[in-house]
A and B are shown apart, each in its own frame.
Chain A
Amino acid sequence: MYRKILAAVNEHINSEVAGRYALRLAKSCGASFLTCFIAEKGTPEESVVRAEEAMKRLITEAELLEVPAGSITKIGDTLGEIGAVVRHKGIDIVFAATRRSDIEKRFYSGTVTRRLSLQLPCSVALVRVVHMGKIHPHKILVPLKAGIDHIKERAYFTSKIAECCDAKVVVFHATKPITRFFHGEIHLTPYEWEKRLPEGISGFVEYLRKYDIAHEGRLLPGKAARSITIEAAAKRHDLIIMGASERSLLTSLIKGNPVEEVLRETPCDLIILKPRHED
């Protein structure tokens, strides 16, 4: 599914760490690895040097891993130039690190990372780096909502990341509690919840089984974002992989945006995947 993987690098160390995730995925998929740096007009020389050093380090790592690699440096608008590279090189997935602005601003305010995720004509993985001491995740939490799309690509991505790190995957679904007006919340045991696992998630689990990835399922009632971060912190997960938000501005304003909340409060590294490959 992924034959060419691109990591967008800049002067910040987080982008290099995000690039390492891309590199490992490339190794796992047998894909080629490209790293690129787009210097916008007025970028200080020092930043260019830092980014180029980061690219060099990534290329060196790629050589050690025996992954075919290359790098591109361009000047211009980040989104436009990366878009052009994606189209020209036939890139399947782009990795980019989130910036502080992504965490501080609301998602709909249109940061560069957000625009990359929305506008690139390929899959995009946004990486928030929280913990640089855990380079290889051993426990990956995959929160899924009911009715997910691109099941195959999500499962493939998760499986390949898990495979390269020999990690265990925990598929997690936070659902609304069952309530009755006069009886309040109805308590169900985990066994009873398991019976209510949405179909899409079962499909995802099937793929994990197919890819021979160690996994387990967990379904809990509660607010999605808070349940995800608590689960990740309590069970010491090293990485969360979740889908990009599909909520509109209005829905986000009214109901909140779980992806945005997890991005802000994640206790471990986070990858937000925007899949583009059709099932």
Chain B
Amino acid sequence: MKINARSKENALRQLVSSENGLSEAEAAKRLSENGLNEISAVARTSLSLRFLGQFTHFLAILLWIGAGLSFLSAWLHPGEGMLTLGAAIIGVIFINALFTFIQEYRAEKALEALKKLLPFYVRVIREGRERRIHSREVVTGDIILLAEGDMIPADARLIESSLMKVNNASLTGESDPILRNHLPSGGELMESPNIVFAGTTVTSGSGKALVFATGMGTEFGRIAHLTSAVEPGLSPLQKEIVKATRLVATIAALVGIFFFGLGLLIGRSFWENFIFAIGITVALIPEGMLPTVTLSLAMASQRMVRRKALIKNLSSVETLGCVTVICTDKTGTLTQNRMTAAKIWKGDKIIDTADFYPQAGDMLAQTALLCNNARFADNEYRGDPTETALLKLARERIGDPGATRIQEIPFDSDRKMMTTLNKVADRKYVFTKGAVESILPLCSRSLKSGAETEIDDAFGQRVMETYHALMDRGLRVLAFAYKQSDGQRPGNEPCRQDSSLEEDLVFAGLVGLEDPPRPEVRDAIEKCHCAGIKVIMITGDGSRTAVAIAREIALIRGTPVVIEGADFVKMSDRELREKLSEKEIIFARMTPKHKMRVVSVLQEEGERVAVTGDGVNDAPALRKADIGISMGVAGTDVAKEASDMILLDDNFATIVNAVEEGRAVYENIKKFLTYIFASNIPEAVPYLAYILLKIPLPLTIMQILAVDLGTDMLPALALGTERPTPSVMKQPPRRRNERLLDYSVISRAYLFLGPIEAVACMFGFFYVMNRGGWNAGTMLPPDHAVYVQATTACLTAIIITQAGNVFACRSSKESVFSLGLFTNRAIFIGIAFEFCLHLFIVYHPCGNRIFSTSPVSLHIWLVLLPFAFLLFFAEETRKALARSRR
């Protein structure tokens, strides 16, 4: 038996307390044993440790070894530049760590937002006296005093109550205040009317409650626990980058070790081989990849803001692109959340509200007007959207009847109805509105042509048929009833449920309310279908309304699986899994607390899930999902803090735009990886030539780093700004086993584009060497003028061909001319930056000193320029051949 089911005395006994409360000594003892009544975060890896983790992964370890060996080499053989190399490698480790950390970093403020929902001070009874204490000091067994406006500090069982209503929105998402009482009640704690919860507020009335759970033991603490404990883990892109870096680092290390061994075999000295091994490893590692990916994601997140999607952590930008399922709310996201009365059923006829011209004493209109808590002030309607729509309907037709409200039985989500007692022109009337299934059984008569007639089974059947018909049109349907009251209840205070007030009512009619879908949603859903993304609606509305709306926006085409909240709770995970595998599925009459389970089961099945939410209790689901999406307009602070993305316009279509952007990001990352990896070949080939042909080293390690971390960066970023192509939303989400660095990327970069660049750079090197009178087989000192110019020409060749390459990489299939040569202006900025940086390296003494370069004449540039065109047109030819083959 739970505490809600026990009598007051029994509950007090269970918690070893009394109506006089605990003694101060006992309270202190309990506080010291059970801890403070506060929300605390579960232990997580600290930021500093997470940052340190960036220095210990496989690639970093490899680079540390490289740096260590370089320092050792510098110590044993000073003056060969190994010290600079070691420092440069450490620089690379730090740059990569910093950019990866930026990608993963996310401010965790959800708990802070949760804490704001708890009070600072609370009134308790201890030793028989009322005391005001800090809410952190509340312990189990304390008796707390609650009054209108109080925030509730802990989970407690009411032992006294007077017309007490609480707003449980933070826990249930229901914003309507609900009545509480202190009588024993069975069932679950969450649904029990004698239980009040931490983090909720008293909207009216007062009461006394016995605290039975504090801090993280409360229901609110459970949400906090899930919000802080659920760690989303690495995003799909981060996982792909880890795999890619492992692959590339392994290749680089193996190639280095292989040629080191080969060099020893062919008789080169240990140190020559060592320099070579380090050099080729550095050449094959794309040092600029992580910074470029991070900056590209940052730029994409800026583009998304312009499309009304605010991204909170960078890696989420791409995750959106690979979602396979979107679980979305209905009201406000798929629909406009602008409720209007659309249809009226009265006197056996369904009419449009436009044709509804009631007389002043029309009872349906009067009920809609007077059994209503919305208000008209300053020329606008204010209040709950449903009530506002009803007030507007009635007020604009019958005006103000000059009634006064005497009593109110407020809306209760369990009873699904509300009642008021009003005085209208010296007569008292009871007005009731609510769900049809709640109102109809309370009615004994109905209103037909102005006369009241007894209702029979046939009438009840007609009402239910009409009710279903209206719901099938996507309308939310409310029933209205009234009666003239003979009771002479004195006073004008709201009263508790008076069952006699709601008996023997006259059925006045039905009103169907419409929340029209957002106009852009239909297209967005269509895009999702084309893009292979399953959209699941999770709504608190009834199943018929949900299905009708889903059909209207083309979310469903056949017969969907509809699961209602009550069935959902009873379902095992296995059953739920089977249902979720269906093509079309709708969850109706659901509460936000169910969302996390849906998300978990979908993820366990291998789906990548995006979920929307706006309430406090949506936070765990938002954290659990691959992408949690909160509402910028209607969302709570807690939901916003727990999410990865905030919709600035609460619009479903914005999610789809963001998905499109996310997919484009992935495609663009592939493009610039091809670009970056292509330059690894002209960086590596000089080392192979050095070891195999016994020539002076054509490209130094610092020059490699100048390309990887300097000149390549901006053109690569420019590729990251390519607009999404129309085909991007016409293909299914990428498969879980699809690689970022797949065969097509590697072969195109390493076997086609890279070799052309390698030819160019070796041509540049030999061209200058031959012009300087070099004889094959002669080794020149590192500071020899001809040698320095030759390495500069080699570097210049890479820069020039990379300019052609950046155009070539704009698409892997389509011709650049079909995309439009000038459609991405960022490319030109990137190339301009590339050349400016290279001019600094080649023509500025400072650049010369750092990178061991020297100025080269214009004609060297002119000799090398055709290679850029060669590469560009060779790639165009390849694409044309590939297209013709398809």
Do A233 and B226 have beta carbons less than 8 Å apart?
Answer: yes
- Smallest CB gap from A12: residue in B: B33
Q: Is A178 an interface residue (CB 8 A)?
A: no
Contact of A99 among B33, B141, B157, B212 (CB under 8 A): B33
Do A134 and B226 have beta carbons less than 8 Å apart?
Answer: no
Q: Is B221 an interface residue (CB 8 A)?
A: yes
Nearest CB on B from A31, distance (A): 22
> How far, in angstroms, from A48 to B625 measured CA to CA in the complex?
52
Q: Is A229 an interface residue (CB 8 A)?
A: yes
Give residues 212-235 of A contacting B (CB, 8 Å). 216, 218, 220, 226, 229-230, 233-235
Q: Which residue, B42, B243, B250, B737, has most C-beta atoms of chain A within 10 A?
A: B42
Do B212 and A184 have beta carbons less than 8 Å apart?
Answer: no
> How far, in angstroms, from A147 to B736 measured CA to CA in the complex?
32
- Smallest CB gap from A46: residue in B: B25
Known: A185-B239, A234-B226, A234-B620. A190 touches B2 (CB 8 A): no
Do A184 and B606 have beta carbons less than 8 Å apart?
Answer: no
Known: A11-B29, A99-B33. A267 touches B572 (CB 8 A): no
- Smallest CB gap from B32: residue in A: A100
Give residues 149-163 of A contacting B (CB, 8 Å). none
- Interface-located stretch among A87-95, A108-116, A125-133, A241-249: A125-133
Do A133 and B189 have beta carbons less than 8 Å apart?
Answer: yes
Known: A11-B29, A187-B606. A132 touches B213 (CB 8 A): yes
Do A131 and B212 have beta carbons less than 8 Å apart?
Answer: yes
- B residues near A133, Cβ cutoff 8 Å: 2-4, 155, 157, 189, 195, 212-213
- A residues near B375, Cβ cutoff 8 Å: none
Q: Is B203 an interface residue (CB 8 A)?
A: no
> How far, in angstroms, from A135 to B737 measured CA to CA in the complex?
48
Q: Which residue, B33, B250, B606, has most C-beta atoms of chain A within 10 A?
A: B33
Q: Is A189 an interface residue (CB 8 A)?
A: yes
Do B140 and A13 have beta carbons less than 8 Å apart?
Answer: yes
> How far, in angstroms, from A130 to B32 measured CA to CA in the complex?
14
Mark each residue of chain A from 1 to 36: 1 if its CB lies under 8 Å from any CB of chain B, else 0: 000000000011110100000000000000000000
Nearest CB on B from A63, distance (A): 15
Contact of B16 among A13, A99, A235 (CB under 8 A): A13
- Interface-located stretch among B127-135, B597-605, B832-840: B597-605
> How far, in angstroms, from A261 to B225 measured CA to CA in the complex?
13
Q: Is B573 an interface residue (CB 8 A)?
A: yes
Q: Is A196 an interface residue (CB 8 A)?
A: no
Do B32 and A265 have beta carbons less than 8 Å apart?
Answer: no
Q: Is A136 an interface residue (CB 8 A)?
A: yes
Q: Which residue, B573, B596, B604, has most C-beta atoms of chain A within 10 A?
A: B604
Do B33 and A100 have beta carbons less than 8 Å apart?
Answer: yes
Do A229 and B229 have beta carbons less than 8 Å apart?
Answer: yes
Contact of B2 among A11, A136, A234 (CB under 8 A): A136
Do A189 and B29 have beta carbons less than 8 Å apart?
Answer: no
Secondary structure of the B side of the interface? helix
Mark each residue of chain A from 175 to 200: 1 if its CB lies under 8 Å from any CB of chain B, else 0: 00000011111010110000000000
Contact of B225 among A136, A218, A233 (CB under 8 A): A233
- A residues near B26, Cβ cutoff 8 Å: 50
Nearest CB on A from B60, distance (A): 16
Q: Is A276 an interface residue (CB 8 A)?
A: no
Q: Is A264 an interface residue (CB 8 A)?
A: yes
Known: A12-B33, A130-B217, A131-B212. A229 touches B225 (CB 8 A): yes
Interface size class of B (residues with CB under 8 A): 35 or more
Contact of B15 among A12, A13, A216, A230 (CB under 8 A): A13
Do A190 and B604 have beta carbons less than 8 Å apart?
Answer: yes
Q: Which residue, B25, B29, B217, B230, has most C-beta atoms of chain A within 10 A?
A: B217
> How far, in angstroms, from A135 to B42 measured CA to CA in the complex?
25
> How far, in angstroms, from A99 to B29 measured CA to CA in the complex?
12
- A residues near B15, Cβ cutoff 8 Å: 13, 132
Nearest CB on B from A232, distance (A): 9
Contact of A267 among B32, B35, B141, B216 (CB under 8 A): B216
Q: Is B246 an interface residue (CB 8 A)?
A: yes
Do A189 and B16 have beta carbons less than 8 Å apart?
Answer: no
> How far, in angstroms, from A187 to B26 measured CA to CA in the complex?
52
Do A267 and B239 have beta carbons less than 8 Å apart?
Answer: no
Query: How many residues does chain A have at the interface if contact means C-beta atoms less than 8 Å apart?
Result: 40
- A residues near B242, Cβ cutoff 8 Å: 184
> How far, in angstroms, from A144 to B401 measured CA to CA in the complex?
69
> How far, in angstroms, from A187 to B236 measured CA to CA in the complex?
12
Do A132 and B33 have beta carbons less than 8 Å apart?
Answer: no
- B residues near A16, Cβ cutoff 8 Å: 16
Q: Is B30 an interface residue (CB 8 A)?
A: yes
Q: Is B423 an interface residue (CB 8 A)?
A: no
- Smallest CB gap from B250: residue in A: A182
- B residues near A187, Cβ cutoff 8 Å: 606, 736
Mark each residue of chain B from 312 to 336: 1 if its CB lies under 8 Å from any CB of chain A, else 0: 0000000000000000000000000
- B residues near A181, Cβ cutoff 8 Å: 246
> How far, in angstroms, from A216 to B25 measured CA to CA in the complex?
45
Do A267 and B246 have beta carbons less than 8 Å apart?
Answer: no
Do A132 and B14 have beta carbons less than 8 Å apart?
Answer: yes
Nearest CB on B from A1, distance (A): 27
- A residues near B247, Cβ cutoff 8 Å: 182
Do B35 and A135 have beta carbons less than 8 Å apart?
Answer: no
Nearest CB on B from A99, distance (A): 7
- A residues near B250, Cβ cutoff 8 Å: 182
- A residues near B230, Cβ cutoff 8 Å: 230
Nearest CB on A from B188, distance (A): 9
Do A135 and B243 have beta carbons less than 8 Å apart?
Answer: no
- B residues near A229, Cβ cutoff 8 Å: 42, 225, 229
Nearest CB on B from A160, distance (A): 19
Mark each residue of chain B from 249 to 271: 1 if its CB lies under 8 Å from any CB of chain A, else 0: 01000000000000000000000
Contact of B140 among A132, A182, A218, A261 (CB under 8 A): A132
Mark each residue of chain B from 172 to 195: 1 if its CB lies under 8 Å from any CB of chain A, else 0: 000000000000000001000001
Nearest CB on A from B477, distance (A): 33
- A residues near B195, Cβ cutoff 8 Å: 133
- Smallest CB gap from A97: residue in B: B33
Contact of A190 among B32, B221, B577 (CB under 8 A): B577
Known: A46-B25, A100-B32, A133-B157. A230 touches B212 (CB 8 A): no
Do B229 and A100 have beta carbons less than 8 Å apart?
Answer: no
Do B2 and A230 have beta carbons less than 8 Å apart?
Answer: no
Nearest CB on A from B581, distance (A): 11
Q: Which residue, A11, A13, A183, A218, has most C-beta atoms of chain B within 10 A?
A: A13
- B residues near A54, Cβ cutoff 8 Å: 16
Known: A100-B32, A190-B573. A134 touches B605 (CB 8 A): no
Known: A13-B15, A234-B597. A189 touches B225 (CB 8 A): no
> How far, in angstroms, from A136 to B1 measured CA to CA in the complex?
6
* Given contact pairs A130-B217, A190-B573, a sample of 20 additional A-B residue pairs in the complex whose CB atoms are under 8 Å apart: A12-B29, A13-B15, A57-B16, A100-B33, A100-B34, A100-B35, A131-B217, A133-B4, A133-B157, A133-B195, A133-B213, A182-B247, A184-B239, A184-B243, A189-B606, A216-B573, A226-B42, A226-B229, A233-B222, A234-B600
What are 6 A-B pairs with beta-carbon distances under 8 A?
A: A11-B29, A13-B33, A130-B213, A132-B14, A133-B4, A133-B212
Q: Which residue numbers of A lie inside 8 Å of B, CB to CB? A: 11-14, 16, 46, 50, 54, 57, 99-100, 130-136, 181-185, 187, 189-190, 216, 218, 220, 226, 229-230, 233-236, 261, 264-265, 267
Across chains A and B, which 3 residue pairs bring their CB atoms closest together, nearest first? A133-B212, A133-B3, A130-B217
Q: Which residue numbers of B lie inside 8 Å of A, CB to CB? A: 1-4, 13-16, 25-26, 29-30, 32-35, 42-43, 140-141, 155, 157, 189, 195, 212-213, 216-217, 221-222, 225-226, 229-231, 239, 242-243, 246-247, 250, 572-573, 577, 596-597, 600, 604-606, 620, 736-737
